[in-house]
C-alpha cells in the first residue's frame, strides 16, 4: 500500500537524495538512494509520485536501475564485466546467413556499420563468418571491447547490461550506451532475422509481447543513460 504523500529531491553531499514525506529513501539493501544527477532524481521522484494506492515496482524502471547500481554492481563489477565481455566472442553481428539474398543484404546493411564503428571507436575489429559455427575472435579485439565495457561506471553498467543481453551484441550495447544509436535502432538491428521471418510467416502474439517488453527495457536503459548526463 502507498504509505507516503509527498516526494521531494534534496541535494546531498554525494548526489541528490529522494525523500518520502521528508525521510530519505533507502535501497533494498539499506543504502542511501542517491542519484548522481538532479535530472535522474527528479525523474525517479515522478515515478514515486505516479504510484496509486499500491506501489508497482514494474512501473518504476529508473528507480530499479538506480537501486541495482548502488546495491549490486559495486560488489560484482568484475563478474558483470566478464559476463558482458563474453558476448563479444559470439557477437550477433558476426554470424551471417548464406541465403536468402534479401536477408543477407539486410544483415549487411544493419550490422556492417556497427562493426566499422567498433573498429573506429575502440580499435576492435571482429571477424565475420557465414553460418553458426563458432569462430575465435582476435584476442586483441576482445581485450579492447572488454576494456571499453569496464570503462563504464556502476550506473552505466546497469544500462549496458540490457543493451548487451537483449541484443546479443556487445557492440550494439556499447553503441546504445554511447548514444550512437537509439533504443529503437538497437532493437531493430538485433531483430533483423526475426523481423524477416515474421514478414514471411506471420506474427505470433506471444512472441510480439516478448518483443515489446524487450524494447521497453532497452528504451528504459537509454533513458537512464540520458538522465545520467
Q: What is the DSSP letter of 117?
A: H
pLDDT score of 1: 79
Residues 86 and 199 in one domain: yes
Residues 84 and 109 in one domain: yes
Choosing from 59, 79, 96, the residue where a domain stops is 59
Total tally of structural domains belonging to the chain: 2
Neighbouring C-alpha atoms within 13 Å toward the C-beta of 119? 10
149 within a domain of the structure (yes/no): yes
List, for residues 32-51, the tens digit of each pLDDT value: 999 999 999 999 999 999 99
In sequence order, what are the residues at sequence separation of 6 or more whose Cβ sits closer than 8 angstroms to the Cβ of residue 54?
1, 2
**Which residue segment(s) compose the domain that 95 sits in?**
66-228
Instruction: State the Cα–Cα distance between residues 25 and 17, nearest whole angstrom.
Output: 8
Residues 20 and 99 in one domain: no
Domain CATH number, residue 53:
3.30.2180.10
pLDDT score of 121: 98
Cell 548514444 locates to: 179
Residues 72 and 183 in one domain: yes
Residues 198 and 86 in one domain: yes
Residues 46 and 114 in one domain: no
2 within a domain of the structure (yes/no): no
pLDDT score of 151: 98
H or E segment at 216? helix 205-228
pLDDT score of 122: 98
Taking each helix axis from N to C terminus, what angle separates 154-167 and 183-190, rounded to the nearest 10 degrees?
30
Residues 50 and 112 in one domain: no
1 within a domain of the structure (yes/no): no
Instruction: State the Cα–Cα distance between residues 61 and 168, nearest whole angstrom.
Output: 21
Instruction: State the Cα–Cα distance between residues 169 and 186, nearest whole angstrom.
Output: 10
Residue segments in the chain with a per-residue pLDDT below the cut of 70: none
pLDDT score of 75: 87
Choosing from 59, 76, 95, the residue where a domain stops is 59
H or E segment at 50? none
145 within a domain of the structure (yes/no): yes
pLDDT score of 177: 98
Choosing from 16, 37, 59, the residue where a domain stops is 59
**pTM for the complete prediction?**
0.95
Residues 47 and 112 in one domain: no
Residues 165 and 189 in one domain: yes
Residues 37 and 77 in one domain: no
71 within a domain of the structure (yes/no): yes
Residues 13 and 30 in one domain: yes
Amino acid at each position: 500500500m502507498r504509505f507516503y504523500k509527498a516526494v521531494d529531491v534534496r541535494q546531498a553531499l554525494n548526489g541528490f537524495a529522494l525523500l518520502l514525506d521528508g525521510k530519505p529513501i533507502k535501497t533494498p539493501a539499506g543504502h542511501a538512494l542517491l542519484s548522481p544527477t538532479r535530472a535522474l532524481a527528479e525523474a525517479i521522484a515522478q515515478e514515486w509520485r505516479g504510484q496509486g494506492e499500491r506501489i508497482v515496482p514494474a512501473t518504476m524502471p529508473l528507480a530499479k536501475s538506480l537501486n541495482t547500481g548502488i546495491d549490486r554492481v559495486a560488489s560484482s563489477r568484475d563478474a558483470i564485466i566478464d559476463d558482458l565481455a563474453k558476448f563479444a566472442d559470439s557477437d550477433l553481428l558476426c554470424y551471417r546467413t548464406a541465403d536468402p539474398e534479401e536477408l543477407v543484404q539486410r544483415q549487411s546493411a544493419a550490422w556492417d556499420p556497427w562493426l566499422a564503428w567498433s573498429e573506429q571507436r575502440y580499435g576492435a575489429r571482429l571477424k565475420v563468418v557465414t553460418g553458426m559455427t563458432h569462430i575465435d575472435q582476435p584476442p586483441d579485439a576482445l581485450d579492447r571491447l572488454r576494456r571499453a565495457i569496464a570503462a563504464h561506471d556502476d550506473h552505466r553498467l546497469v544500462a549496458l547490461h540490457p543493451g548487451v543481453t537483449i541484443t546479443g551484441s556487445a557492440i550494439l550495447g556499447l553503441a546504445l550506451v554511447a548514444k550512437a544509436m537509439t533504443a529503437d535502432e538497437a532493437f531493430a538491428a538485433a531483430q533483423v532475422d526475426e523481423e524477416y521471418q515474421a514478414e514471411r510467416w506471420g506474427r505470433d502474439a506471444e512472441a510480439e509481447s516478448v518483443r515489446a517488453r524487450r524494447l521497453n527495457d532497452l528504451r528504459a536503459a537509454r533513458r537512464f543513460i540520458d538522465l545520467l548526463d
